[in-house]
Amino acid sequence: MRIRALSVPPTDTEVDDWWAVLVAAQAADLPGVPAPGRTEIAGRLRVPGARGRFVNWAAGDGEGIASLLLFTDEGNTHTAFLDVMAVRPDARRRGVGTALWQRVREELLGQGRTSVATTTDLGGPGHAFAQGLGFESVLPLGWYVGEVPADAAGIRVPATPGYELLVWHGLVPDAWAGAAALAHGAMEDAPSGGLDERIQAWTAPRLHAAHRLVLDRGGELTTVAAVTPAGEVAAYTELVLPDPAGPCALQYDTVVVPAHRGHGLGRAVKLRMLAQAAARYPALRAVRTTVADANTPMRAVNEALGYRRERDAAVLQLKL
């Protein structure tokens, strides 16, 4: 089986072929979940990552694809993330996945990586495949979905005395970037299990780079923040539309800084976001998010907002 690296940047045909594999795989594996749009896929393939270098491969005649993120950020150059590994449903169980994996493994070893992580749904072919290679679960999690009700734009957001709710589309304004980066530090409270990855300190430039990446890839990003008169960001939530014309959004971080917990700010920022997103994106139907099983407070906030658990998944890791 011939495994070839995609051109850098990939051609239109390479993007089309990649997208076709993903669409076919998703239709087979997750029939109820809309496949990513071409805009999102082209963005991911064409715009370099903020934390590392992607290497992308295609197998044979478009039978399968793999994408590996080799971290370049400080403290993580020993590890990597297998972002995509998919084989067209009609070409499965014939060793295509194994051939792709051999190429990925060769790259990992060649780049001196001693571990690699990936996420997969539990109980499906990806899980069986990864377990066969020796991957082990380091962080069980769930995919949750929140439907966007038809009247969401008019939703009533509870009052937040002492806090003002601000909405930012795109990059966080410079005046708030330092405070927002500080609040991002509280994401470290979210469980990360036994993942062999070092969390970087958040700074305003790093926050801007992470957000810039979403925009450069053709997506849109909205932040709702609860701020204090002293200029702190006490809580925030981030919503990304990888394809702004599409029906699906991804919930990124939701954080309430420890000193401000217990005032209903998590719920307030998320409801404000829902109203905002429903008004701005008329085609939006669902918001998806992953939450670690061990993250009881976040699961409680999401459940109170009507999110339902859609499927079980996990971050898996392999030591090389």
Please identify the residue of the shown chain whose CB is closest to the bound ligand COA. Answer: 126
Q: Which member of 128, 245, 259, 283 binds ligand COA (CB under 6 A)? A: 128
- Contact between 317 and ligand COA (CB under 6 A)? no
- Contact between 263 and ligand COA (CB under 6 A)? no
Q: Kindly identify the residues of this chain, within the stretch 15-74, that bind ligand COA according to CB under 6 A.
A: 25, 29
- Please tell me the distance from the alpha carbon of residue 170 to that of residue 149, in angstroms, as a whole number: 24
- According to DSSP, residue 36 is labeled P
Shortest distance (Å) from residue 98 CB to ligand COA: 3
Q: At what angle do helices 204-216 and 174-184 cross, to 10 degrees?
A: 100
- Contact between 123 and ligand COA (CB under 6 A)? no
Q: Can you say how many angstroms the Cα of residue 75 is from the centroid of all Cα atoms in its chain? A: 21
Six-digit token string for 142 = 């769930």
157 phi and psi, to 5 degrees? -95, 125
- Contact between 130 and ligand COA (CB under 6 A)? yes
- Residue range at the interface with ligand COA (CB under 6 A); choices 121-129, 155-163, 229-237, 273-281: 121-129
Cβ pair 289, 303 in contact under 8 A: no
- Residue range at the interface with ligand COA (CB under 6 A); choices 2-10, 116-124, 167-175, 249-257: 116-124
- Residue range at the interface with ligand COA (CB under 6 A); choices 124-132, 146-154, 165-173, 205-213: 124-132
Six-digit token string for 251 = 């919930």
Token match 């060769």: residue?
Answer: 106
- Contact between 85 and ligand COA (CB under 6 A)? yes
Shortest distance (Å) from residue 184 CB to ligand COA: 28
- Contact between 118 and ligand COA (CB under 6 A)? yes
- Contact between 126 and ligand COA (CB under 6 A)? yes
- Please tell me the distance from the alpha carbon of residue 319 to that of residue 242, in angstroms, as a whole number: 31
Six-digit token string for 173 = 């304004």
Shortest distance (Å) from residue 118 CB to ligand COA: 5
Shortest distance (Å) from residue 130 CB to ligand COA: 4
Q: Kindly identify the residues of this chain, within the stretch 194-233, that bind ligand COA according to CB under 6 A.
A: none
- Contact between 125 and ligand COA (CB under 6 A)? yes
Specify the residue, 91 or 278, whose C-beta has the smaller distance to ligand COA: 91
Shortest distance (Å) from residue 221 CB to ligand COA: 26
Closest CA to 190 of 270, 78, 84, 266: 266
CA dihedral (137, 138, 142, 143) positive or negative: negative
Shortest distance (Å) from residue 210 CB to ligand COA: 24
Neighbours of 200 (CB within 10 A): 12
- Contact between 315 and ligand COA (CB under 6 A)? no
Specify the residue, 22 or 221, whose C-beta has the smaller distance to ligand COA: 22
* Secondary structure string (H, E, C) spanning 139-202: EEEEEEEEECCCCHHHCCCCCCCCCEEEEEECCCCHHHHHHHHHHHHHHHHCCCCCCCCCCCCC
Specify the residue, 24 or 298, whose C-beta has the smaller distance to ligand COA: 24
- According to DSSP, residue 268 is labeled H
- Please tell me the distance from the alpha carbon of residue 239 to that of residue 254, in angstroms, as a whole number: 9
Shortest distance (Å) from residue 64 CB to ligand COA: 6
Length of the chain equals 320
Q: Which member of 129, 176, 252, 281 binds ligand COA (CB under 6 A)? A: 129
User: Which residues are at the interface with ligand COA (CB under 6 A)?
Assistant: 25, 29, 85-87, 92-98, 118, 120, 124-126, 128-130, 132
